[in-house]
Chain A
């Protein structure tokens, strides 16, 4: 990175931290520290919700996903607006009426202490581990591409977040997220415009879309119904709806964002605006990836985008095979490029037959390129069985480093840091709230003075921050564990959502019935995970449906048994 990029990056990060500390001053009681005094406007809430959900890996991985697999990932978000409407109409007024600090407090008032403790405990386990991953994932990509020390990168991200989250609590988190979203938006829009500018003069905007579409990168909607297909409109609308309902309605890192609203109106508006903006935003980020793909149709991309893994192969026993593959890859790339140029030229002159022939050539060359990339991953795996053969997270940043102008590179890296910090700050803030309110205060029964409560919350925030950094430092050596943690989250969301939906809508059901139904649901989800090929999005539906479907009959049985 150039000195100007470093100036842009450090100035942006320091400004965000200073701004967060400054805006967060004056939080002297729990309501001020954990809920920003319940005085946030809906515009701030919307940006805070979006910044919490969009971690750094979203901005690194999503464009790469469009590059490798097309835009069908956008369907993952189609259930989100539906969930925002349901939560606005039902959960928001309930949370406001009960004046809760955490979502899990509601479960005790509705059911009993054990159900509240179960939900809070599951949240702490999931988020406590995921928080380390939120720091680690972008650090890994940045350290690989820039040669930075991953441990120092983890420390920088973690310590910056801890400073303002601990000092200013939720108010600092929400206000910095406002700034962070501006940085992220600026970085992504800037990158998109530069990509379009960098396309060859002979390739118009329409040409870029035409080529991307014919090579399967603009496949935004797929109506086919297939349970094992991760992204189609049905898994997005149904599975994505349940996932969003669970994440936004029961995960404290999100619930805490809209609990800061100065009224029900502001909390609702925050969620609904998120519902309106999220899908187009994801579409735009994926479109950036599709345009990066088009760019690399005219400029030779590396065979594999992770330079550290590639270097290891080039120094290993299979280096000759890899070199031969690279030569084949280059020749296929040139063939595809020529075919594309011919196709566009013949289409412009109206020569359909020749255009069609060129298109067939383009597809044949593209198939060869796909095969060579697959062969490259085979060689990587043969060289090092533990190597990461997925290079999707490295595609966008490789483009940024090599082709964006000085200054914009610093802004995009600042955007990635911002995204990581915004998600981490919400997670630390929520972990501290749940630990203090649902565990320490509830189990000890002692609250202390306002000053003591805020001091305790600060200590707990530092504790979780330290733990997250520690986990991030070790995550590098626990590749499969990181994957397991991601799966772990999807295994519990449906069941927790089921508990909340029963609490909201099935007024007759008591705590014991909900608790036992949740345990059966969890077994059913685990069975799906262990014995079927069902995509993970459907676990949310299964877990939730079993809790709801069983809680009524179990409740009737328990009542008959006199319990």
Chain B
């Protein structure tokens, strides 16, 4: 079969909700919140043992 194996371009991709927290903005907030928490904990860690 001679073909480009891809489905037609331009179809909207299947974009469901995330498996938890229901919406993507909430999941993004979770990732950024964890980053902020890491920075705070690393700072406390640095100060505590300096």
Q: Do residues B19 and A221 form an inter-chain contact, with CB atoms below 8 A?
A: no
Contact flag A213-B1 (CB < 8 Å), given A81-B31, A220-B42, A221-B42:
no
Known interface pairs A99-B7, A263-B13, A263-B16; A78-B39 also in contact (CB < 8 Å): yes
Shortest CB–CB separation between residue B41 and chain A, in angstroms?
9
A221 to B35, CA, bound (A): 13
Asked if A212 and B13 make an inter-chain contact with CB atoms under 8 angstroms apart, the answer reads no
- Collect the chain A residues with CB atoms within 8 Å of residue B45's CB: 218, 220-221
What residues of chain B lie closer than 8 Å to A30, measured between beta carbons?
Answer: 5
Please tell me if the beta carbons of A89 and B49 are within 8 angstroms of each other in the complex. Answer: no
A residues near B35, Cβ cutoff 8 Å:
78, 81-82, 275, 279
Give how many B residues have a beta carbon under 8 Å from the other chain's beta carbons.
36
With both chains docked as a complex, state the minimum distance between the C-beta of B18 and any C-beta of chain A, in angstroms: 6
Which of chain B's residues 27-50 have a Cβ closer than 8 Å to chain A?
A: 27-28, 30-32, 34-35, 38-39, 42-43, 45-46, 48-50
* Chain B nearest CB, measured from A561 CB (Å): 32
Tell me the total A-B contact number using a CB cutoff of 8 A. 105
Known: A219-B50, A221-B42, A450-B5. A84 touches B13 (CB 8 A): no
In contact, A97 and B13 (Cβ under 8 angstroms)? yes
**30 A-B contacts (beta carbon < 8 Å):** A42-B19, A81-B31, A81-B32, A81-B34, A82-B35, A84-B31, A85-B31, A85-B32, A97-B10, A97-B11, A99-B7, A99-B9, A212-B49, A220-B42, A221-B45, A233-B39, A263-B15, A264-B13, A264-B14, A265-B15, A269-B19, A272-B27, A275-B35, A276-B30, A279-B35, A279-B38, A283-B38, A447-B3, A449-B1, A450-B3
A96 contact from B5, B13, B32, B48, Cβ within 8 A: B13
Interface positions, chain A 288-313, Cβ under 8 Å from B, are: none
Instruction: Report how far A96 CA is from B6 CA in the complex, Å.
Output: 11
Hey, what's the 0/1 contact readout for A71-102 against B, CB within 8 Å counting as 1? 00010001001101100110001001111010
Total contacting residues, chain A, CB less than 8 A = 45
| CB-based closest 4 A-B pairs | A213-B49, A96-B13, A220-B42, A99-B6
Give the complex CA separation of A128 and B5 in angstroms. 27
Most chain B beta carbons < 10 A, residue from A30, A212, A218, A283 = A218
Closest beta carbon of chain B to A171's beta carbon, Å: 15
Establish whether residues A218 and B13, one from each chain, have CB atoms under 8 Å apart when the complex forms.
no
> With a CB–CB cut-off of 8 A, which chain B residues contact A85?
28, 31-32
Report B's interface with A, CB cutoff 8 A.
1-19, 24, 27-28, 30-32, 34-35, 38-39, 42-43, 45-46, 48-50
A450 CB, min distance to chain B CBs, angstroms: 6
| Cβ contacts under 8 Å, A42 to chain B | 19
* Nearest-CB residue, chain A, relative to B34: A276
Whether A221 pairs with B9 at a CB distance below 8 angstroms is no
> Do the beta carbons of B14 and A448 come within 8 Å of each other?
no
* A529 at the B interface (CB under 8 A): no
Contact B14 A265 (CB under 8 A): yes
Residues of A within 8 A of B13 (CB): 93, 96-97, 263-264
CB closest chain-B residue, reference A95:
B13
Nearest chain A residue, comparing its CB with the CB of B19 = A269
**A72: nearest residue on chain B (CB-CB)?**
B46
